[in-house]
Structure 1
């Protein structure tokens, strides 16, 4: 019998300001580590108010991590110290490995109606790869396969495998999976997961049930962790579900469809020293990184 993952914890995204006064919702971040190892944060930057995002994220450094940006509507313009430049649009993904160090900027723009929708996920790198050569992958929507399953279920496979279909992003250190799943009303979706991997789902529209139990989890909101809140058994837009270990995840619907991001990765299990855009293993490594920024020796790789 296949063991379905039970819900370990549920989080509600909270408002936060990042970059140059960009208003967004954060599903998890610094205060939740190391619950999501190997992942560090997930930001939800959906907005219909250009004043909340146009100032963007001007030039800033990264080291020791990977950033994964997925755009649903609008665009994000990218530039970096390796000489990469360009924009990603609806359905596109930017997968950037900061490695030993990179300077970049991300400047979002809305669509014709001023709507911007997207998400940014940070993934940690293990100590042995913290100082690897930086790299950048611009994955166009046309490169991302869409798998049609029974009952009208659709899955966009950014990274990982659904059946015999493999996503375009491969050879990533933490062995991740990143799927965009839509489940119609009155349907159930099951997806196999690797034992020991961290797995979470982030609901971006509709309403779904991620466990058969009626009250299966602790619900965290505004810094509280209460089991006795009157919390519905379903999860809706802006809700993140962190799963326990198991062989598969399950999502089902009743009268409404649900769309969610399903993400998994192999935990690193190493110490984390994190300050702003740089994530290392020790405070001494952090100090060195910021000293190099001041001294102009931060970038280890020349322009392409």
Structure 2
């Protein structure tokens, strides 16, 4: 089985969002480099001023979000009446569809906050579907032993016959948190685009030493192989959509006219109806 070659390494960059929440970001809106994924934000802080304002009520259309908390809580509230608060190790999934208005508030556990939010594109045929929301507390996320000191927590998709709780995303995908030391050697759907964000420890890929804070982009193939040491690795693999992407703020559509319509709908109070 062919091994996927490392094509590109990209360093996450510091920025802020919401009410001044400090994050590190990898964006992939241009060039389909992350397709079907659009953006990954890493939230990590030990000072309340870096996150205390959270993300006040704001709209979305045309995307799904998946939030995974390693340390800390994350409180979600939306116009549909959903209220969810993750505990350490939990995940939240939201499909904005034609429109959602929600707020998000990160909360530390013993002064520590560390988590991720992933933006996932919706195909044109599903961008105007009704909004939806689900949360998954840590006990519902299965763990798979990959080697003696290497485990994976599977949020979506399947590893070694074990499936994650997010079982019906709009686009087929695998999202897993790989933790520990040793050789990662995984068969992956050859039709998927594959990338991995190293958030802790170090990794060796094709004799290249990788440090934390980098996204690794892999080429075509049937297996993913790398060596980790004290590693925390967010593995992302998904079926590319291959459609035009037009992004403006919280909206991701297929054309500029659709973006302008989303703005008009939000201003008129009809985004979610």
What TM-score bracket applies, with the shorter chain setting the length? over 0.9
Question: Could you report, residue by residue, the CA deviation over 1:203-237 in whole angstroms, capped at 9, with x for unpaired residues?
Answer: 11111113x2x3xxxxxxxxxxxxxxxxxx21121
Q: In structure 2, do the counterparts of structure 1 residues 117 and 262 end up closer, same or farther at CA, with 3 Å as the change threshold?
A: same
Gaps of 5+ in 2: none
* Match runs of 1:15-94 below 5 Å: 15-30=14-29, 32-94=30-92
Q: Deviations over 1:172-201 (max 9, x none)?
A: 1210100111232xx211111111311101
Structure having the larger proportion of residues in strand: 2
Residue 155 (structure 1) aligned with residue 148 (structure 2):
no
Moved more, 136-145 or 32-41: 32-41
Q: Which residue of 1 aligns with 2:195?
A: 200
Q: Give the distance between the partners of 1:296 and 1:261, measured in 2 at CA.
A: 37
- Measure the CA separation in 2 of the matches of 1:25 and 1:7: 22
Of the candidates 92, 95, 98, which is equivalent to residue 97 of structure 1?
A: 95
Q: Distance in 1 between matches of 2:218 and 2:271?
A: 38
Q: Quick check: which has more Rg, 1 or 2?
A: 1
Corresponding pairs, count: 273
Residue 127 of structure 1 deviates from its aligned partner by 0.4
Runs of 5+ unmatched residues, structure 1: 215-232
1:228 corresponds in structure 2 to none
Q: Deviation of residue 33 (structure 1)? A: 4.0
Moved more, 11-20 or 21-30: 21-30
Q: Are residues 1:290 and 2:263 paired? A: yes
CA distance in 2, matches of 1:234, 1:91: 28
Counterpart-to-counterpart distance in 2, 1:102 and 1:234? 41
Deviation at 1:97, TM superposition (A): 0.4
Report matched runs for 1:1-304 at 5 Å. 2-30=1-29, 32-112=30-110, 114-184=111-181, 187-210=182-205, 212=206, 214=207, 233-253=208-228, 256-300=229-273
CA contact (8 A) 1:156 1:181 kept: yes
- Separation (CA, whole Å) in 2 of partners of 1:125 and 1:27: 19
SS state at 1:133 partner: coil
Structure 1: distance between partners of 2:84 and 2:244? 35
Counterparts of 2:193 and 2:35, CA distance in 1? 7
TM-score, normalised to structure 1's length?
A: 0.87
CA contact (8 A) 1:208 1:258 kept: yes
Distance 1:84-1:295 versus aligned 2 partners, 3 A rule: same
Shift of 1:27: 2.4
Q: TM (normalized to structure 2)?
A: 0.97
